[in-house]
A = this chain, B = another copy of it.
Amino acid sequence: MIKTVVKDLYRNQENFKDQTIQITGWIRTLRDSKTIGFMELNDGTFFKSVQVVFEDTLDNFKEITKLPISSSVLVEGEFVPTPEMKQPFEIKATKIVVEGLSDTDYPIQKKRHTLEYLRTIAHLRPRANAFSAVFRVRSLASYALHKFFQDKGFVYVHTPIITGSDTEGAGEMFRVTSMDLNKLPKTEDGKVDDSADFFGKETNLTVSGQLNVESFALAFRNVYTFGPTFRAENSNTARHASEFWMIEPEVAFAELPDIMDLGEEMVKYVIDYVFEHAPEEMAFFNSFIDKTLIERLQNALESDFGRVTYSEAVELLKNSGKEFEYPVEWGTDLQTEHERYLSEEIYKRPVFVTDYPKEIKAFYMRANEDGKTVAATDLLVPGIGELIGGSQREEREEVLANRIKELGMSEEDYWWYLELRKYGSTKHSGYGIGFERLVMYLTGMKNIRDVIPFPRTPGNAEF
């Protein structure tokens, strides 16, 4: 008898022909006539379930027919190829042992549940088809990113989560404290005494690991982060979560076009990886979530991503004849509607927009010769809008220090960041990609809450 798992049965069917096997798993569906029963058993290793056939020759036939779905069982039986049937094989059970009896009020019944309902049972929803597919693809995409960067010799850096600085020089951050809020220590002027806090000062949850990882790029040349980041923004949209994961590669001696090449290669690599490793899940998404998904991803895979400057993009949008909710004007940020129109209608593929006005971009982006724009780039993709945001970093100490002053930021807070420009500064560039947005792009899911295991949004930190 071979102890095995469902994935092996599907992937290596020829090995199991007429063998006696043993599997364990959870009952997805169950039906019977008087003398024969059929059970779909899923063991979590594979998207598809396996059909188990059992007859009244089993001692506990009656008991089995009455099992509530989601009960866990151990099945022994014969692997029988069934080339004439819908499923390629089935298991003819010789023994079924109940391991865990489920209550009959199991909240995921055969009927289709809404995604909203399933969010309220986040501890059970990975057992539902859609979430089984989403979270397996999320895992595969994570690994594909690691593999992509590691194969190229990039060093993975765990940048700090608790931080005393604010990367973007803006943005609402979560405070981290070990002080008892009901007994806050005060200074003489009646203010909270932050110096009495755990780290001796005010600390927050990071919004980006970029500044930290730059210091590693100037040591290891090719580095990346992959970790959680946080925004305390009170916006309840389908695209925003308070806690999300981000990947931030950073490359020394690289200029803007170098990291655009890297980003394009990375996106294609991940698409290719999930196509190869999750064909059943991708087919499911294409049938039940978004019927244009595979076509769109295939198109990205086969196309050369477009490249256009912000100034050219503004002209293209203005001349498109399309009426937008927000007007397009040089100097203002592109809205999602503009980003999607550019990639979906004008380019019909992913497109890098470059050289944005400096006023709408972060302080660390490298000033272009024109004095008006910076060496920034966003990658816009059909169905999503912005997927990647990156830039060449300002490597000139004086230019950077002036920009920090100009924006009224504190030079002192950035002493070490400025020192990176003092000791062996080099050109360097990098980008950030919101991991959840990538998973939405790969799966066709439309709400960020449905691609995060236990999402955190305003008013919601359940589980």
A positions within 8 Å CB-CB of B: 5, 7, 24-27, 43-45, 70-72, 99-100, 102-103, 106-107, 121-124, 126-127, 131-132, 135-136, 138-140, 142-143, 146-147, 150, 153-165, 172, 174-179, 181-182, 184, 191-192, 198-201, 203, 205, 212, 215-222, 227-228, 230, 232, 234, 242-243, 245, 252-253, 395, 416-417, 419-420, 422-427, 452-454, 456, 458-463
Given contacts A24-B253, A215-B124, contact A243 B160 (CB under 8 A): yes
Contacts of A462 in B (CB 8 A): 164
B456, A199: Cβ atoms under 8 Å? yes
User: Could you say which residues of chain B place their CB within 8 Å of the CB of A222?
Assistant: 44-45
Q: A143-B146, A215-B123 are in contact. Are A221 and B43 (CB under 8 A)?
A: yes
**Do A158 and B99 touch across chains, with their CB atoms under 8 A apart?**
no
Q: Tell me whether B174 and A176 are in contact (CB under 8 A).
A: yes
Copies of this protein, total? 2
A162 to B424, CA, bound (A): 38
Q: How far is the CA of A182 from the CA of B186 in the complex (A)?
A: 10
Q: Is the CB of A156 within 8 A of B142?
A: yes
Q: Which 8 A-B pairs have the closest CB atoms?
A: A44-B221, A126-B219, A100-B425, A199-B461, A70-B424, A123-B215, A139-B156, A123-B416
**How far apart are the CA atoms of A122 and B126 in the complex, in Å?**
41
The CA of A428 and the CA of B74, in the complex, are separated in Å by 14
- Distance in angstroms from A96 CB to nearest chain B CB is 15
Query: Bound state CA distance, A217 and B25, in angstroms?
Result: 12
Inter-subunit contact B219/A132 (CB<8 Å): yes
* Pairwise interchain contact A7-B158, C-beta atoms closer than 8 A: no
A184 partner residues in chain B, CB cutoff 8 A = 181, 184
Kindly list chain B residues whose C-beta atoms are within 8 Å of the C-beta of A218.
Answer: 26, 44, 127
Cβ 8 A contact of A198, one of B106, B127, B174, B425: B174
**A201-B461, A215-B124 known; A102 vs B423 contact (CB < 8 Å):** yes
With A123-B417, A139-B154 given, can you name 20 additional A-B contacts, CB distance below 8 Å? A27-B424, A43-B221, A44-B218, A72-B425, A102-B422, A106-B423, A122-B215, A139-B156, A146-B146, A158-B452, A159-B454, A160-B243, A162-B243, A174-B176, A174-B178, A175-B177, A181-B192, A199-B242, A199-B459, A201-B461
Does B24 contact A160, Cβ atoms closer than 8 Å? no
17 chain-A/chain-B pairs, Cβ below 8 angstroms: A7-B153, A26-B218, A44-B221, A45-B220, A70-B423, A72-B424, A72-B425, A99-B427, A121-B416, A123-B215, A123-B420, A124-B219, A176-B205, A181-B184, A198-B459, A200-B459, A228-B228
CA–CA, A242 to B164, complex, Å? 14
Is there contact, CB below 8 Å, between A155 and B135? yes
Residues of B within 8 A of A72 (CB): 253, 424-426
Residues in chain B near residue A139, CB distance under 8 A: 150, 154-157
Q: For A135, what are the chain B residues with a Cβ–Cβ distance below 8 Å?
A: 155, 157, 216, 219-220
Judge whether A424 and B199 touch: CB under 8 Å.
no
Residues of B within 8 A of A132 (CB): 219-220
Q: A143-B146, A181-B184 are in contact. Are A162 and B461 (CB under 8 A)?
A: yes
A232–B139 CA distance with the chains assembled, in angstroms: 30
A325 to B427, CA, bound (A): 55
Closest B residue to A163 using CB positions: B461
A422 to chain B, nearest CB (A): 5
Question: Nearest CB to that of A216 among chain B residues?
Answer: B126
Which B residues touch A146, using CB under 8 A? Answer: 142-143, 146
Indicate if the CB atoms of B181 and A175 lie closer than 8 Å.
yes
> In the complex, are the beta carbons of A456 and B100 less than 8 A apart?
no
Find A242's partner among B126, B138, B198, B425 (CB 8 Å cutoff).
Answer: B198
A453→B163 contact, CB < 8 A: no
Residues A454 and B160 in contact in the complex (CB < 8 Å), given A126-B215, A423-B103, A461-B199: yes
For the complex, what is the distance from the CA of A165 to the CA of B179, rounded to whole Å?
A: 18
Name the residue on B nearest A99 (C-beta): B426
- Tell whether, in the assembled complex, residue A103 and residue B252 are in contact, meaning their CB atoms are under 8 Å apart: no
A141 (CB) vs chain B CBs: closest residue: B156
